[in-house]
Amino acid sequence: MKFLKQFLFILLAFGLSSITYAQRTEKAQELIRFINLLEKEYKVLFSYADDEIDNVIVPTKKKFSSLDENLRFLRETTPFNYKYHSDTNILIIPKSGFKMLCITIKDKLTQKGITNSFLKTDQYIFNSDSLGQFKIPINSAVINLYINANGYIPKQLEIDTRKKNDCPVFELSPFYEVLDEVLLENFLTSGIQKFTSGVLEINYEDFGLLPGLVEPDVLLSLKSLPGITSRNESVSYINVRGGTHDQNLILWDGIKMYHTSHFFGMISAFNPYMTKKVKLVKNGTSSKFGDGVSSLIDMQTSDSINSTFKAEVGLNLINTDAIIEAPLNQKSSIEFSFRKSINSLWESPTYDRYFDKTFQNTEVTIQESPTAQQNNDFSFYDASLNYKNQLSRNDYLKANFFYSHDEFSLNRFEIERNRVNIRSSNLNQSNAAGGIYYNRNWTKTTKTQIQLYASRYNQNSINADFLDKQRLEQINEVREIGIKLNLQTKLNKNIAFEGGYQLNETGISNSERIDNPGFFRETQNSIITNSIYSQINYQSENSRLNLQLGGRLNHFSKFEKVTIEPRFNLSYKLIGDLFLELLGEEKSQVTSQVIDLQTDFLGVESRRWVLSNLNNRPIIQSQQVSTGFNYIKPSWFINVDLFYKKVEGITTEGQGFQNQFRFAQDHGNYEVKGIDFLINKNLNQFSSWISYSLSENSYEFESLEPSTFQNNLDIRHVVSTGLTYEQNGLKISAGFNWHSGATVTIPSDDQSQNPQEILYQAPNSERLSDYFRLDFSSTYTFSIFKNIQTLAGFSMWNVLGSSNVYNQFYWLDENQNIQNFKQKGLGFTPNFVFRLKF
């Protein structure tokens, strides 16, 4: 850690010096700020119309020694004359022969106005307002403009001002979209886009509605996409093409998150109204991302600087939240969000359904003693803070912080010989993350980014047992710090290059303490990962071919091992509206989750994070290829993907076996092969879809018998459909989900009279009953006052109340009888939302 701290200090100093240099060489500032400085220095007063000088920028200047020299400089660089009205009063008057021209700049993808964009004419510089508009004085029939904004490709324009157009609109493309065009907008519903690179992006500022979701839950919304399931209906157990949840790289503003849910998987830990967009990559990941052998889920908050104060508050049947966005000045702003559970005030029907599903067949609901009584308490909250500053036209700084906390306590009371025994158990989970991000635009086509970040996850439980008179304390802690340097540049109009360096140090500790009999065990481990990467993006002249070729080289300390990970991503327009996709990647990761005993951490959150080691836990590595076809017509989208994925280095402890392999220790691999099929039809205000997935997922562990058998996540057939309607603020969505039963192992018929252990049939040789769920949701947005927008809505999860068993396992009771336990998904679960936006 000492080496990394020193290295980070040096690099941070370098980053801060770069910022200081940028501020020293780039002193352009608003005209209004400039004249305020002159007023203080020379004891004069400027008279002007606010709306005329707003958003006018004064370029870099040298230091002038007198007021007259400053005024001469302003006459040359701004469209105004500066005349003395008296010795201490100066009038700012628009130059004669000028007329006002309105121009609007929008994001090409979201069609939202770009705040804090810059426009330069032949002589003058302007800054846009909160709507992305410029009002500039002109005195020529034809003018040349240069438009620039942080994170976007600059654009040069020639405008004929004699053409009548109230306020012409021009679009800027985000930098990453230079060679990654939008293939389809409104994928399934509004706000979801598919790119030529295969990336799926959900934009929550323009998000529609999905069945069963009254709010755009960040991770729950991903489960509606093809190839993604969750065997136990949990957002803390998202399975992408047969992978486990810990094999997903989940980023929040570039920071890896080791805990992603509240209520033990029932909702996301990230406020959906603070998270502006989420990218999902199932294959063909950019080489700048390491880790996550199954998928990439990249959550991003807004980078735009707010020029006006905004606030919103909301309430649903689980939690309440508030968000504040406030400008600090014209160049910087701050955002803050806070969300808190409401069950301490009212345990709603939604809360009851979540509680029953979460704690079924755990120590919370299974009484240890028939004479004992108990009560429990549960709460969660999360908060996030973003600070953004446009240091100069080419320099941007963002600092952010995130914290989430879940707490559950269980108190049990038992009267024994006129004495009350009290045993308290509790479980705490917390996740904290923070980082600094700095972007520098060196030229029109070249930019660099530096990011420093730290993340910490802690899970702590105290489990009190009545019968054994025993107290067990368990702790799982993850600490990670890292730095990332990235360069992006366009070599020419068809080729772009991206490359960089990433350094991470990850430390994980696990401890267990028992008071009767006395026992203590603790393990600590850390790994430093150094990575370099590069990637070439090519787009043909006619845009028919889009190609990304890259690679990543990782060095893992302690292992003294280097992995080379090639990545490729190809999209080619074959004929007409038919596109071919070809994707491939190799990835690796050194963190994973394991289960020692299903009863650990109160049996509610039994998984704990561990690091790969030299003895029995190898580095997890994956190879994946897929090919597909996209057929796109106006209002039609048809997609077919065939894929193959192999993941090596997985351990039996990480699979959650509850059969004959429950205590086995081995490492092996799994293979998944399958096909995803989707038809999406849009017609005016309606959008409908049907998707089907067929896959086969199998394990291979050499030391087990049998060595090859079906994966715990092998769900062969998955079908989902949906229909959404949007019109004048009203949104309605309905759909159903069906999949064939998941694998299960059942006891053998040949058991002994009083078995000491259960004899099982072949592992995962049977299946549970099919899963079926019908969902509905609706929201309506309207205004109750001029500046207050209101949203009200409700949802119904599992409208028909289907009894869906997602897991089945067996235990021996105290009389050596085999007991059958079934875990069921949510029954009929309503929810409601009400929000006010100021």
pTM: 0.86
Segment 436-474, tens digit of pLDDT: 999 999 988 899 999 999 999 999 999 876 556 678 899
For the chain, how many residues are written? 838
Q: Rounded to whole angstroms, what are the CA distances from 126 to 122, 135, 221, 405?
A: 12, 9, 40, 44
Distances (CA, A) of 288 to 499, 536, 836: 7, 12, 39
Which residues of 178-294 form beta strands (DSSP E)?
182-184, 192-195, 200-203, 228-229, 239-240, 248-252, 255-256, 261-262, 267-268, 275-281
Range scoring the smallest mean pLDDT among 24-28, 64-68, 290-294, 531-535: 24-28
Looking at per-residue confidence, does 682 or 517 come out higher? 682
Peptide bond between residue 747 and the one before it cis (omega within 30 degrees of 0): no
SS3 at position 758: coil
Half-sphere exposure of 443 (CA within 13 A, CB side): 7
Residue 514, pLDDT above cutoff 70: yes
Q: Which pLDDT score is estimated for 23? A: 36
Q: Which residue has the higher pLDDT, 717 or 374?
A: 717
Residue 61 has pLDDT above 90, yes or no: no
Average pLDDT over residues 1-25: 39
The encoded tokens of residue 746 equal 């059942």
Question: CB-based contacts of 189: which residues, under 8 Å, 6+ apart?
Answer: 207, 208, 209, 210, 687, 722, 724, 733
pLDDT of amino acid 695 = 97
**Whole-angstrom distance, CA of residue 110 vs CA of residue 132:** 13
Q: Which pLDDT belongs to residue 692?
A: 96
What value does the mean pLDDT of the chain take? 88
Q: Is the pLDDT of residue 689 over 60?
A: yes
- The token pair at 469 is 């008179």
* H runs (alpha helix) in 375-497: none
Q: What pLDDT, on the 0 to 100 scale, is given for residue 1? A: 43
- Mean pLDDT over residues 242-262, rounded? 96
Nearest to 178 by CA among 546, 448, 568, 572: 546
Model pLDDT, residue 113: 83
pLDDT greater than 80 at residue 619: yes
Tokens of 372: 């004992």
The pLDDT value given to residue 369: 60
Rounded to whole angstroms, the Cα distance separating 42 from 294 reads 64
Residue 318 pLDDT > 50: yes
Taking alpha carbons only, the member of 806, 801, 803, 798 closest to residue 823 is 806
Summarize the confidence of residues 17-38 as an average pLDDT. Answer: 60
Predicted confidence (pLDDT) at residue 173 exceeds the cutoff of 80: no
Backbone angles phi, psi at 62, to 5 degrees: -85, 165
Distance CA 608, CA 457 (A): 11
Phi-psi region of 210 (alpha: psi -120 to 50; beta: other; left: phi over 0): beta
The span from the CA of 822 to the CA of 377, in Å, is 25
Average of pLDDT values for 269-289?
Answer: 94
Q: What average pLDDT does range 388-399 have in this prediction?
A: 91
Cα 524 to Cα 3, 510, 633: the distances in Å are: 18, 7, 56
Please, what sign has the CA dihedral across residues 149, 154, 160, 166?
A: negative
Q: Which residue has the higher pLDDT, 445 or 16?
A: 445
80-130 pLDDT, tens digit per residue, is 899 998 888 999 988 887 887 888 888 876 677 887 788 888 778 888 887
For the cut 80, the answer to whether the pLDDT of residue 435 exceeds it is yes
Planar angle of CA 800, 806, 809, nearest 5 degrees: 135
Strand segments, DSSP code E, in 741-817 are 743-744, 766-767, 771-785, 788-797, 805-812
In this structure, the strands spanning 730-739 and 717-727 are: antiparallel
User: What is the pLDDT at residue 164?
Assistant: 67
Backbone angles phi, psi at 752, to 5 degrees: -75, 170
Residue 131: its pLDDT value, please?
Answer: 79
pLDDT digits (tens, 9 = 90+) for 655-675: 999 999 999 999 999 999 999
420: pLDDT confidence band, cut at 50, 70 and 90?
A: low
The predicted structure's pLDDT at residue 12: 40
| Model confidence pLDDT, tens digit, residues 522-572 | 999 999 999 999 999 999 988 899 999 999 999 999 888 899 999 999 999
Is the model's pLDDT at 22 over the cut of 80? no
Using only C-alpha atoms, the chain has a radius of gyration, in whole angstroms, of: 30
Please give the pLDDT value at position 703.
93
Distance from the Cα of residue 681 to its chain's centroid: 27
Q: What is the 3-state secondary structure (H, E, C) of 666-728?
A: CEEEEEEEEEEEEEEEEECCEEEEEEEEEEEEEEECCCCCCCEEECCCCCCEEEEEEEEEEEC
First and final C-alpha spacing in the chain: 46
Task: Pull the structure tokens for residue 418.
Answer: 């006129």
Separation between Cα atoms, residue 109 and residue 679, nearest integer Å? 23
**Residue scoring higher pLDDT (79 or 638):** 638
DSSP one-letter code for 64: P
Q: Which of 77-91, 204-218, 339-353, 457-471 is the most confident on average? A: 339-353
**pLDDT at residue 135 in the model:** 82
Is the per-residue pLDDT at 60 higher than 80? no
Domains and CATH numbers, the chain: 2-94 (3.55.50.30), 99-173 (2.60.40.1120), 299-837 (2.40.170.20)
In the chain, % helix, strand, coil (3-state, to 5) comes to 10, 55, 35
Which of 96-110, 137-151, 735-749 ranks highest by mean pLDDT? 735-749
Max mean pLDDT among 159-168, 387-396, 417-426, 789-798 falls in: 789-798
Angle at which helices 67-77 and 31-42 pack, to 10 degrees?
170
The secondary structure of 92-117 as a DSSP string is EEEPTT-EEEEEEEEETTT--B-TT-
Across 751-761, average pLDDT: 86
The per-residue pLDDT for 103 is 87
Q: 383 Cβ partners below 8 Å, 6+ apart? A: 336, 337, 338, 339, 402, 403, 404
pLDDT score, position 149 = 81
* pLDDT for the residue 188: 85
